[in-house]
Chain A
Amino acid sequence: MRLIDIFTTASGNMFRSKLRTTLTIVAIFIGSFTLTLTSGLGTGISSYIDKQVGNLGGKDVLIVQPIGQGPGSDSGPKAYDPAKKTSATAFGTTTTALTDSDITKIKSVSGIRSVEPNFVVVTDYIVGPNGKKYQVSANPYVSGTKVELATGDQVSNDVSERQALLPVDYVPALGFANNEAVVGKSVTLGVTDGNGKQHQITAALKGVQQKGLTNSGGMNTNEALTQEIYRTQSLGLPKAVTNNYQALLAKFDANASPGQITHLKDELKKKGYAAKTIEDQIGTFKAVISGIIAVLNAFAVIALLAASFGIINTLLMSVQERTKEIGLMKAMGMGGGRIFLLFSTEAVLLGFWGSLIGVGVAEVVGRVANHIVTTTFLKDLPGLQLLTFPPISILAIMGLVMGIALLAGTLPATRAARQSPIDSLRYE
């Protein structure tokens, strides 16, 4: 029998018992629908995170800290060493501090282009046209970062003007009429120095920043403003403390390969520094999300496995019902291999239709859900596509479902292929 005939015969046989076939397809549909949604969710969220990480810029920046500190450190508590310097940080904790000599040491590592201190700055309040004071945190701007803006421009680290971006929810609170009204205006920031005395610093607003995962709270401050806040908050503190840094930002070649970055990290580790890229820091967060998505996907696959038993059942019944027909075809010279192919094709076709409908409906539901979600409770996260369906993963899902169906079809198909023509013909 030619392949095209096997295909059309299998296709025709599939609908000889319409209700049974339909129910099986529904089972497969549910599985592939769920899998498409969960994997669409996974793709949507992780591509959003990737975009946010991209917004961070700073792809060429390593955050350098003494080994044993910072997020994700795996070395446990460190024994206290009186010889090591500590610094009072904005968070009020004491950590081993980095000094100007560390800057020189890190600069000497080949591949490192420049090293700057990562200032931790603390602001007390922000006040705008209506004179109301609000708490605010400051977020030193890293050059090259593309902060998502509602309006205006990015701040610049290369100017002496003290610049900031205003988070979007401060716009009405501070008394601005709308986003556009913010650009070019200025706000006043309150900062407390080492003696407990409060100072006021004026900052020019360059734009309004959107909410995102990576710039959720703080306002972005340019280098001139950051320096000024840092200088102010350090007033009255001993020199030994002010020249100590919790972390340093080391820049390297933006085109460096992952291998080269790893090499840089190793070099710094040899010198006693732990270095992480911004992506590394986000990585943990991403891993948690991926974990959740993986669990959801696993549930969908379980649904598919349940559906595969439906396929086995349907096809076993078909084989049973068509015993005589199989016997006749074998008597007329159809080989076991072709019979196997006939039933396998039928299984794959069940998988094909089930997954096609599942994927199609999931895509429609996904679009609707995206629309609802991004216009209601997640509307503060612009650019978020909660469910994303790249064609590649759609094809992969259909392939997977058809593969499962093919496997499920092996048992009935083998049974059909092994039937002796005589027994089948005598079958009552």
Chain B
Amino acid sequence: MPAESPVISGRDIIKTYGKGDGQFTALRGVSLDVKAGESIAIIGKSGSGKSTLMHLLALLDKPSTGTVSIDGQDAGRLPGRTLNTLRNKKFGFVFQQFFLNGGASVLENVILPLKIAGVHGRERRRRGLEALRQVELEDKAKNKAKDLSGGQKQRAVIARALINEPQIIFADEPTGNLDSATGAHIENLLFNLNKRHGITLIIVTHDEDLARRCDRQLHIKDGVIDVAPRPRRGVRL
């Protein structure tokens, strides 16, 4: 595959939620290409459709009309089983919430994608500890997830996202709930993965600074890509 051909591309994506009176169109015709190894920030106001777009690109949901292609293949035509395998093997996820199982150990939480993939116990453990080492959380492996601090939880979540050595990491507000120092630490982690391992990053964020560190920024406004966003004069979120 030539370096320039997109790993993911969206064409005229429209996403409508609900039926009848309660109908709401969250995305109104979005097209974009994501190249391998690049980092993209999706920014915009709350409710503008950022998470919706990310979910569609991550093949977690299907557009109402339009197509999402992965490696040139129309994902809408792929069977569910193939999509599951794709997500399991090629994608890493950081959601807007932690989604950690508080009662289970940090290690157990981190190895979940490998468990789903059917990797054996010993191999899972080895890779789990390796991923925790990358986010400097090795010493917390045996602790219960609920006992971690907010920043530690987010690092555990990132360890979980990279444990399957993904090609693309989707991160929804990875620094949203964190103080700026911890946020910076998480940011560095992500961009290190991008630079060193060539992992493609698709980051949804409100944070202008985080967005600026990405190769490209996509501004979403009311469900469409805003090509000429007005600069936000001194407004920080």
**Residues of A participating in the B interface, judged by any CB pair closer than 8 Å:** 1-2, 5, 9, 12, 16, 324-325, 327-329, 331-336, 338, 420-422, 425
Contact = CB atoms under 8 A, between A and B. Distances in A.
Contacts of B60: 331, 421-422, 425
B116 A1 contact: yes
Residue of A328, A332, A422 contacting most chain B CB atoms (<10 Å): A332
A334 B118 contact: no
10 contacts: A331-B60, A331-B93, A332-B87, A332-B93, A332-B116, A333-B116, A336-B80, A420-B61, A425-B60, A425-B95
A1 B115 contact: yes
A338 B120 CA distance: 17
A12 B103 CA distance: 10
B113 interface: yes
A240 to B, nearest CB: 92
B55 A422 contact: yes
Looking at chain B, what size class is its interface with the partner chain? 20 to 34
Interface in B67-123: 80-81, 84-89, 93, 95, 97, 99, 101, 103-104, 112-113, 115-118, 120
Contact of B118 (A1, A12, A332, A420): A1
B61 A333 contact: no
Given A332-B116, A334-B116, A325 B101 contact: yes
A325 B145 CA distance: 14
B87 A331 contact: yes
Q: Which 10 A-B pairs have CB atoms at the shortest separation, nearest pair first?
A: A333-B88, A333-B84, A333-B87, A328-B99, A334-B116, A422-B61, A2-B118, A332-B113, A1-B116, A335-B84
A235 B219 CA distance: 123
A179 to B, nearest CB: 68
Contacts of A332: 87-88, 93, 112-113, 116
Contacts of B55: 422
A41 to B, nearest CB: 43
Interface of B: 55, 58, 60-61, 80-81, 84-89, 93, 95, 97, 99, 101, 103-104, 112-113, 115-118, 120
Nearest to A422: B61
Contacts of A329: 112, 116
Residue of B81, B84, B88 contacting most chain A CB atoms (<10 Å): B84
A335 B95 contact: no
B85 A5 contact: no
Nearest to B80: A335
Nearest to B117: A333
Contacts of A420: 61
B81 A335 contact: yes
Contacts of B81: 335
Nearest to B85: A333
Contacts of A1: 115-116, 118
Contacts of A336: 80
B168 to A, nearest CB: 13
A2 B118 CA distance: 5
Contacts of A338: 116
A334 B60 CA distance: 12
A325 B118 contact: no
A422 B55 CA distance: 8
B103 A16 contact: yes
A384 B99 CA distance: 61
A422 B103 CA distance: 23
Contacts of B84: 333-335
B163 to A, nearest CB: 10
B44 to A, nearest CB: 18
B84 to A, nearest CB: 4
Contact of A5 (B93, B97, B103, B115): B115
Given A5-B115, A328-B112, A335-B84, 9 more contacts: A1-B116, A325-B99, A331-B58, A331-B87, A332-B87, A332-B88, A332-B113, A421-B61, A425-B99
Contacts of A331: 58, 60, 87, 93, 95
A389 B61 CA distance: 55
A324 B116 contact: no
Contacts of A421: 60-61
Residue of A9, A12, A328, A338 contacting most chain B CB atoms (<10 Å): A328
